[in-house]
Amino acid sequence: MTDAPAPLADPHLVYDPVAGDGPKDVAILGSTGSIGTQAIDLVLRNPDRFRVTALSANGGRVALLAEQAHRLRVRTVAVAREDVVPELREALSARYGAGEPLPEILAGPDAATQAAASDCHTVLNGITGSIGLAPTLAALEAGRTLALANKESLIVGGPLVKALAKPGQIIPVDSEHAALFQALAAGTRADVRKLVVTASGGPFRGRTRQELAAVTVEDALAHPTWAMGPVITINSATLVNKGLEVIEAHLLYDIPFDRIEVVVHPQSYVHSMVEFTDGSTLAQATPPDMRGPIAIGLGWPERVPDAAPVFDWSKASTWEFFPLDNEAFPSVNLARHVGELAGTAPAVFNAANEECVEAFRTGALPFLGIIDTVTRVVEEHGTPAAGTSLTVPDVLEAETWARARARELTARTASAEARA
C-alpha cells in the first residue's frame, strides 16, 4: 500500500490557502438545500469561526436565498436561473435598508462556478448532482479548500479532480466519508486493511426484490433515520447512494474496491469504520445529524464545539449490523463494476440514475425500473476509454448520451405498461 498514489483526502495533511486570524471566509454552494441550510445554522452559531462571503442556489427558493444573504451579509449571491433575478433583486431590496448596498448578483448556469472561484478560504459544495463538477474544479483551480458534499462531481470527474487537487485540499462532508476521514487519522495508510461503509438500508430494508415491485414514491421518500432532499432520499431507497459512496471512498482514499465493504446499520449511529491490520476497528459514531460532518469540512483540523448532538450514554440502546442483500439491491455491485471500468462509466451510471429517479418521481417508471434501466444503459455504454485521458467534454458527452438513452428506455417501459 505504501507505493499507492497519495489519497485525495488525508487527515494527516492540512491545506491552508489563507492563513491568518479571524473568522474563516466560506462560500456555500447549494445554500437553500439540506446541506446548505444546516451549514448556515452552524455558521450563525459560530460567528467567531466562520464568515460567509458568497451563496449560490438554483433559484427555486428565492425568498429563502434573499433571507440568507441578508442575515449573513454576503458579498455575492449566485443563482442558476436567470429568470428569477428580478424577483431576487426585489426580495433583497425588501430586506436591506435604504441606501444599503445590495450584494453582487451572479446569474446563469456558470454562476455557481464563479462563486466557487471567488475570494474565500473554503468552498462548501452542497449542490446535488453532476452539475457540481464545474464548481468543484473551479474551487480547486482557484486554490480554495474544498469541503465536498457533492459526491457526484468526484464520481463523474475523478481523474479531473485528482489532477487539480493538492494534498489536503479536499475535506469530505458526506457522513460516511467524514467518518472514514476521522478514523483514518488513527493510523498510516499502510496500517489500513479495509474500509467499512455503513448503510441504513433505507425504508425497504429486509424486503425481497419481489416485495419492492409495487412501492410508491411516498414509500421511497419515507427514510427512517435521515432528512434529505428527494433525489438523495430515493437514491438511499435503491442503495444507489451507497454505490456512489463506494466509488467515492475508492477515489478519496485510494483503497481498492475489494477492500471496501458495505454493511447495513439501521440505527445510522456508526457512520463508517476503518479496520486496521492489527485487528482493531475504529468506528466514528454520532446521532444521525449532518452538522457534524459539515463542521469537519469547514473547520478541519480544528473541531467545532457542540456542532451536533451527542449520545446519552446513560440510556440503553441497541446497535445492529447486517449483511447487504445484493439480490434485492444490486446497485452497490453495479457501482463497483463501473468504478472498476473508470473513464466515463461512472458518469454514465450517475446520469442514467438521475434521469430514472426523476422518471420514478413523475410516475413514468416503477421503483425496480430505476436500477434495471441504469444497468442496461451501463451495459450498452460498454468499456470506456482509459480514465487517465478523461476530459470535461468526455464527461459531458457521456452524460448526454446516458440521459437520452435512459429517457428512451423509460418511454418504452411506460408504453409497454400502458399496453398491458
The verdict on whether residue 58 carries a ligand-binding annotation is: no
Q: Check the annotation: does 415 bind a ligand.
A: no
Does residue 33 have a known ligand-binding role?
yes
For residue 121, say whether it is annotated as part of any ligand binding site: no
| CA 241 from centroid of its chain's CA atoms | 9
Q: CA 204 to CA 202: how far, in whole Å?
A: 6
In the sheet with 270-276, reading across from the earlier edge strand, the strands are 281-285, 270-276, 192-199, 260-264, 322-323
Asked whether residue 236 is marked as a ligand-binding residue, the answer is: yes
70 is in an annotated binding site: no
DSSP helix/strand/coil, 155: helix
232 assigned binding-site residue: no
Q: Which one, of 307, 277, 83, 313, lies nearest residue 191 by Cα?
A: 277
Is there a binding annotation on residue 90?
A: no
Residues in the chain: 420
In the three-class reduction of DSSP (H, G, I as helix; E, B as strand; rest coil), residue 116 is classed as helix
326 is in an annotated binding site: no
Residue 56 marked in a binding site: no
Contacts by 204-209 with C-beta closer than 8 Å and gap 24+?
Answer: 204/237, 204/328, 205/264, 205/266, 205/322, 207/328, 208/327, 208/328, 209/327, 209/328, 209/368
245 is in an annotated binding site: yes
Find out whether 387 is annotated in a ligand binding site: no
229 is in an annotated binding site: yes
In terms of DSSP H, where are the helices of 16-157? 34-44, 62-72, 85-95, 111-116, 133-141, 151-156
Residue 106: closest CA among 131, 123, 89, 127: 89
Q: Who contacts 97 (Cβ-Cβ below 8 Å, separation ≥6)?
A: none
**Residue 24 among known ligand-binding residues:** no
Q: Which three cell numbers stand for residue 96?
A: 436591506
Contact 223, 217 (CB under 8 A): no
Q: Which helix (H) or strand (E) holds 198?
A: strand 192-199
Identity (one letter) of the amino acid at 382?
A: G
Of 163, 157, 160, 170, which Cα lies nearest the Cα of 130? 157
Is 260 annotated as a binding-site member? no
Nearest residue to 344 (alpha-carbon basis) of 401, 290, 301, 288: 401
What lies within 8 Å, CB to CB, of 416 at 6+ separation is none
Binding positions for NADPH: 32-35, 150, 152, 229
Binding positions for Mn(2+): 174, 176, 245
Binding positions for 1-deoxy-D-xylulose 5-phosphate: 151, 175-176, 200, 223, 236, 241-242, 245
Binding positions: 32-35, 150-152, 174-176, 200, 223, 229, 236, 241-242, 245
